[in-house]
Amino acid sequence: MFLFGHFSSSRPTELESAAEDFLRMFHAENPSADGLTARLRQVREEIRADGTYRHTEEELAFGARVAWRNSGRCIGRLYWRSLRVRDRREVRTAEGVAAECVDHLAQATAGGRIRPVVTVFAPDRPGRPAPRIWNDQLIRYAGRRKADGAVQGDPQNLALTRAARALGWHGGAGTPFDVLPLVIEAPGEPVRWFELPREVVLEVPLTHPDFPWFADLGLRWHAVPAVSDMDLEIGGITYPAAPFNGWYMGTEIGARDLGDRDRYDMVPEVAARLGLDTSTESTLWRDRALVELNVAVLHSFGEAGVSITDHHTESRRFLTHLAREEGAGRRCPAEWSWIVPPISGSATPVFHRLYDEPDLRPGFVRRPVPSALRNFDRRSTVNHHKSGHTPGQRRAAGAASPGGDHGRQEQRRQGARAQAG
């Protein structure tokens, strides 16, 4: 029964119901907070007067942490309570958002001891949308299609690179690892781009503990995976700009960003440098090269003193998190195809079970790509057709929020069902 119903003969609105669900959760998990009935009445009156309501700082911090706790595609949720929440709801301009994103990266990087951080900007209000960040992560590398159809840099970011160039960005130095600017859409302003200062973009050059030639590949990756294109939904309120980060699991870089055929596609090059027999798949040359890529990532981050974790350790930590959530009487969303690592899956304990996949709130929710950016994306797709690539080949895997194509996910789900059966 909704308490809002006691104050009016009309049925509670969807927002009122979502607000009450959240406030009851907040008070249940924070017993020291008092005044639930008074708070419910206050929120109802705000909604009836303005069509929305404002979270207290404590509610916002709790909601953001629970949103991480509810992220079914994230394996690293054991430390959800440690998420540092930066309340920047007063910021609505593109320039203000960009400045706070720079501060976010500085605080999250912490000299290499990566801290989980979320920065929450203004919420959507009735008739007044809030700013949005077009980048899927605060730090991304540009992708450019060359005359021969090949891509220099990250193919995942072809559309965003085109958009930034159209807005006036100079295009970087022309290397495979040119950091893209932030592209921010704020109501009442033209879409704007902002260069990230080099001092807040910590990058790790990749080397290998056993193969000196690996350094000659010129590979590198950034230290902070700050997802920035998802809505944070708390109690019916949407915060469309709420970049958040944890730290990397090595396979996100080594197996996906650098290993996927529709990303940097480094597996064939590493295999050639290793002198592997690539004439037949049965030599498992792809597997051997992929393992060495991941060895290099973990080794390099470790040598640089930058936080990272391996997929075996993180799998065990996730099961600890799962046990704690079950012990607290809570459902723990988890999508098997995202929780199981992209290499050596069956060697990790998360492989051998199924999980619940409820869509819980608070949560970080994927939203449609901005229509203006979709125009650049369609141009990129056309170019892929011309160069012999299919749209399926360009589906990307984000690091902190890995993508990957739905077919691969379904295959892995079927594998989990077979194991369970």
Rg of the chain over Cα atoms, rounded to whole angstroms, equals 22
> How many CB atoms within 10 Å of residue 36?
15
> pLDDT tens digits for 33-75?
989 999 999 999 999 999 999 999 999 999 999 999 999 999 9
Q: Which token pair is 125?
A: 């209000």
Q: Which token pair is 217?
A: 């590949």
Q: What is the pLDDT of residue 5?
A: 46
**Residue 151 to residue 381: CA distance in whole angstroms:** 13
With 0-12 / 13-18 / 19 or more C-beta atoms within 10 angstroms meaning exposed / middle / buried, residue 79 is middle
**Tell me, what DSSP letter sits at residue 255?**
I
**Residue 298 to residue 310: CA distance in whole angstroms:** 7
If DSSP codes are grouped into helix, strand and coil, which group holds residue 156? helix
**Residue 95 to residue 14: CA distance in whole angstroms:** 33
Q: Give the β-pairing of 84-87 and 117-120.
A: parallel
User: Is 77 annotated in the active site?
Assistant: yes
**Distance from chain centroid for Cα 380:** 22
User: Is 101 annotated in the active site?
Assistant: no
**Residue 72 to residue 192: CA distance in whole angstroms:** 32
Residues contacting residue 322 through CB under 8 Å, at least 6 positions apart: 332, 334, 355
> pLDDT tens digits for 72-120?
999 999 999 999 999 999 999 999 999 999 999 999 999 999 999 999 9
With 0-12 / 13-18 / 19 or more C-beta atoms within 10 angstroms meaning exposed / middle / buried, residue 299 is middle
**Residue 224 to residue 246: CA distance in whole angstroms:** 7
User: Is 247 annotated in the active site?
Assistant: yes
Q: What is the pLDDT of residue 11?
A: 79
Most distant pair of Cα atoms in the chain: their distance: 76
Active-site residue, selected from the candidate residues 44, 77, 140, 394:
77
> pLDDT tens digits for 293-323?
999 999 999 999 999 999 999 999 999 999 9
**Residue 83 to residue 106: CA distance in whole angstroms:** 15
Q: What is the pLDDT of residue 269?
A: 98
Tell me the residue length of the chain: 421
User: Is 68 annotated in the active site?
Assistant: no
Burial 188-225 (b: 16+ CB within 10 A, else e): eeebbbbebeeebbbbbebbbeebeebeebebebbbbb
Whether the CA torsion 240, 128, 23, 235 is positive or negative: it is: negative
Which helix (DSSP H) or strand (DSSP E) does residue 132 occupy? strand 132-133
Among candidates 107, 366, 67, which has minimal Cα distance to 223?
Answer: 107
Active-site residue, selected from the candidate residues 68, 134, 221, 247:
247
Q: What is the pLDDT of residue 402?
A: 33
**Residue 295 to residue 87: CA distance in whole angstroms:** 38
Whether the CA torsion 348, 349, 354, 360 is positive or negative: it is: negative
**Residue 350 to residue 227: CA distance in whole angstroms:** 24
Q: Which token pair is 124?
A: 């959507």
Among candidates 250, 294, 302, which has minimal Cα distance to 270?
Answer: 294
Active-site residue, selected from the candidate residues 74, 80, 92, 336:
74
Helices (H), 331-405: 336-339, 371-386
> How many CB atoms within 10 Å of residue 39?
18
CA 174 to each of CA 166, 180, 188, 358: distance values in angstroms, whole numbers, following the listed order: 16, 11, 33, 44
Q: What is the pLDDT of residue 24?
A: 98
Q: Which parts of the chain register pLDDT below 70?
A: 1-10, 377-421
- pTM value? 0.88
Active-site residue, selected from the candidate residues 16, 20, 185, 252:
252
